[in-house]
Every structure is written in structure tokens, then in C-alpha cells.
Amino acid sequence: MPQHKSTPQLMEINLGPQHPATHGVLRIVLTLDGERVVKAVPHLGYLHRGVEKIVEDLEYFQIPPILDRMDYVANLNNELSYVMGVEKLAGLKVPERAEYIRVILLEFNRIMSHFAWFGPFTNDLGLFGTAFLYGLREREYIQRLFERTTGARMHYNYFTYGGLRHDIPEGFVEEARHLANRLPAVIDEFEYMVEENEIFRLRTIGIGPMDGKTALNFGASGPFLRASGIPIDLRKDEPYSVYDRFDFKVCSASGGDCFARYKVRMDEMRESVKIIQQALDQMPDGPVRAKTTRHLKLPKGEVYMRTEHARGEFGAYIVSDGGVRPYRLKLRSPSLSNLMASCVLLPGMVLPDLIATVASVDIVLGCTDR
């Protein structure tokens, strides 16, 4: 940590929890030496609802709507780990069509999440308004597809153990294909908008560099880890669902800085589009829900199912005592691990860089606090 002898007076201020740059209700207690951060202590729990405790009183079929409220930007990804865990423990076979629809929606959800990250990120860098609106506007198009498919704009509650709650609406494939064909140009447009912008480059390149080893030690995952040069992607490394049938590459960058994180997400979206297009081509007909009972009883045992969330590894650890409710459901959220990892970067930065760094990690407090 660099020492600044010229300004001996330290000042302690609160960043958040009600601050537009903290992406939710993150509160960071900062000790500042002038503009420079000496100490940064994140305080969590402003959005703590006790999800893990609540679900112990719920039957398995009642749980997905609660999980939707964790990471409210990439909800379907939350549901997936849980329903796949239940399926694994119950030995349920999901119909192939359901798997493909899941993949299509998950990848759209990932893109939506990255769009919802891109806008506020540029906002935090001072590019007020324009890119933000572009990000949200493009997200809205996908959102409409989701609304028609799942019936909800935000808390989809669409996945269920054994498949999906209901089949996709008429015209889904055409609209999804249209969106997927259009998205690469949109992503190009976003890059075109900010990437050669000198301010953007100055504010991101070399800011908040994270080395891969530290990130791994903190349990970081997802684009945050891949930007530090470690290409770990569960879709490739531990293929679940039907991800092993698609041709896509794991995007990584070596810089570890804010720009690298931005770049990884941008590239990742292109790969997601590729997956969507392949899935739409391969999607078979058939049922979308395996035959299960409403009050499912899981055999005694435990299972940990992890999937590649938009933000990293999202895990659901289900312990069953043989009843209709989980004995314990531990949820591993990527946001928390990534936030903890990024906090070591903060001391020594100037305050605006701290904002940029926290924004580039892409945390969702609903997921962090649970």
C-alpha cells in the first residue's frame, strides 16, 4: 500500500448502501487519505432475507420462486443449479427438448445480465446516459421474449425439476432466431461506442489488476476469473445439460484489469449467441416436462450441483433427509466470492478507480446477501 505522508489526516466515509454506484445496497466503509483509499471494508447483509433458512420450510416445488429473488438479473441461472441438483438426487431424466430450451433461455439470460452490467458500468465511468440506455434497451428486447415465454418480466419461475413449467409459445423459435441473428451487430455497436473512447480506455486499462492466483485463492469465478487469465468455464470443464453438444470457446483475457473484464464479457456474449443459434437448430420436438409427482420426496443423501452462472460458479448443495423438504440448502453465490476477491484490490486506489473496479466485478447484492 503506498504511503502518502503529505496528508496525515484520514477521513472515514460511507459509500452506500444507498448510492447509485454500489449496484444495490452494498456499503463500503472507506478510509480516505484525500482522494486515495487507505482502507475499504465492505458491509453486507442489507438485502439478507434468510433464503437458505426459508427454503427449509418449503417443499421442493415451492423453492424456485424464492431462488429467483437471489440474483435478480440472471434468475434462470439461479434456478438451474437447484433444479439440476434435485434432478440428480431424484434420478430424473429431463426431456431433451426441455434441455435445449433451458440452454437457449440461459444464454439469453446471460446476455441480458451482461447488458444490464454494461450499461451501469459505463455510467460509473462517467459516460452518463447513452451507453446505459443502449444496454437497457437491448436487454428489453430479450426481456419481451422472456415475458412471453415465462409469463414474467423478472422473476421467471420457469424451470422446475423434470423440465419446464410449460412449453414455449408459438413463434418463439422465430423470434429467438431473429434476436440471436441481430445480437452480434448490437455487441459490435456497444464496442464501437466505448472501446475507442479515450476516457473509457483511460478509466479501465490497468485499473484494478487482479492476478489469477489471488483470484483463485479467493474462490473467484466467472468472467472475473477468466479476465485474470484462467480460462475456467463449467460449461466446458464439467459440461452439464447439453452444453457438450455445442461448439463454443471459453473467453479469457490476460490483463486482469477492468478492461479485460469488459472484454471477456463482450466476447462471451458472442459465444452465447453461437450457442443459442446451434441450440435453435438442434432443438427437437417432444415433451418439456418429465413425469414427476407434485410432492417430490428426495432419497436420503446430498448433492452439490454447480453451473456456470452469468457471474461465475453458482452452486446448490442440497441435503435431503428423505422428506419432502430439504434438510439444508446451501447456495454458493459467485457475487460474494468475487466481491471478496476484489476487495483486496481497493486499498491504494483513488476513489473513482474504486468505483470502476467494483462496477467491473459485476455483483448483485440479492445474490451476495441472500
Across the strands, what pairs with 32?
Answer: 11, 37
x/- string (CB under 8 A) for other proteins, residues 16-55? ----------------------------------------
8 Å CB contact between 27 and 42: yes
Q: 32 or 179: whose CB is closer to other proteins?
A: 179
Coil, helix or strand for 314?
strand
Supply the angle between the helices 351-361 and 96-124 in degrees, to the nearest 10: 170
Per the listing, cell 428489453 goes with: 140
How many Å from the N-terminal Cα to the C-terminal Cα in the chain? Answer: 32
Q: At its nearest, how many Å lie between other proteins and the CB of residue 55?
A: 9
Q: What gap in Å lies between CA 325 and CA 329, rounded to an integer?
A: 10
**Least distance from other proteins to the Cβ atom of residue 65, Å:** 4
**For residues 282 and 293, which CB has a smaller minimum distance to other proteins in the complex?**
293
User: Smaller CB distance to other proteins: residue 245 or 297?
Assistant: 297
CA distance 78 to 71: 7
Positions 117 through 156 that interact with other proteins (CB under 8 A): 126-130, 134, 137, 141, 144-145, 147-149, 151-152, 155
Q: Which is nearer to other proteins, 31 or 157 (CB)?
A: 157
> Minimum distance from CB of 263 to other proteins (Å)?
8
Q: Looking at 39, 46, 56, 61, which residue binds other proteins (CB under 8 A)?
A: 61
As measured in angstroms, the least distance from the Cβ of 242 to other proteins is: 24
Q: From the CB of 194, what's the least distance to other proteins, in Å?
A: 9
Contact 60, 294 (CB under 8 A): no
- Site for other proteins contains 254 (CB under 8 A): no
* Positions 67 through 96 that interact with other proteins (CB under 8 A): none
Stretch that binds other proteins, among 56-64, 103-111, 327-335, 354-362 (CB under 8 A): 56-64
C-alpha gyration radius of the chain? 21
Q: Which three cell numbers stand for residue 204?
A: 479501465
**8 A C-beta contact, residue 121 and residue 134:** no
Given a contact cutoff of 8 angstroms between Cβ atoms, the answer to whether 246 and 277 are in contact is no
Instruction: Give the side-chain half-sphere CA count within 13 A for 38.
Output: 14
3-state secondary structure (DSSP) of residue 15: strand
Q: Which of residues 168-207 bind other proteins (CB under 8 A)?
A: 169-172, 174-175, 178-179, 182, 185-186, 188-189, 191-193, 195-199
Q: In this chain, which of 124, 267, 268, 313 binds other proteins, going by CB under 8 A? A: 267
Give the nearer residue to other proteins in terms of CB position, either 90 or 220. Answer: 90
Q: Which is nearer to other proteins, 165 or 328 (CB)?
A: 165
**Nearer to other proteins among residue 39 and residue 289 (C-beta):** 289
The number of residues that bind other proteins (CB under 8 A) is: 51
Q: Which is nearer to other proteins, 7 or 192 (CB)?
A: 192
**Cα-to-chain-centroid distance, residue 138:** 17
- Give the sign of the dihedral formed by CA 238, CA 241, CA 246, CA 249: negative
Q: Which of 21, 58, 92, 290 binds other proteins (CB under 8 A)?
A: 58
Contact 185, 333 (CB under 8 A): no
CA of residue 98 relative to chain centroid, distance:
22
Collapsed DSSP state (helix, strand, coil) of residue 42: strand
- Footprint of other proteins on this chain (CB under 8 A)? 58-59, 61-62, 64-66, 126-130, 134, 137, 141, 144-145, 147-149, 151-152, 155, 157, 165-166, 169-172, 174-175, 178-179, 182, 185-186, 188-189, 191-193, 195-199, 267, 293-295
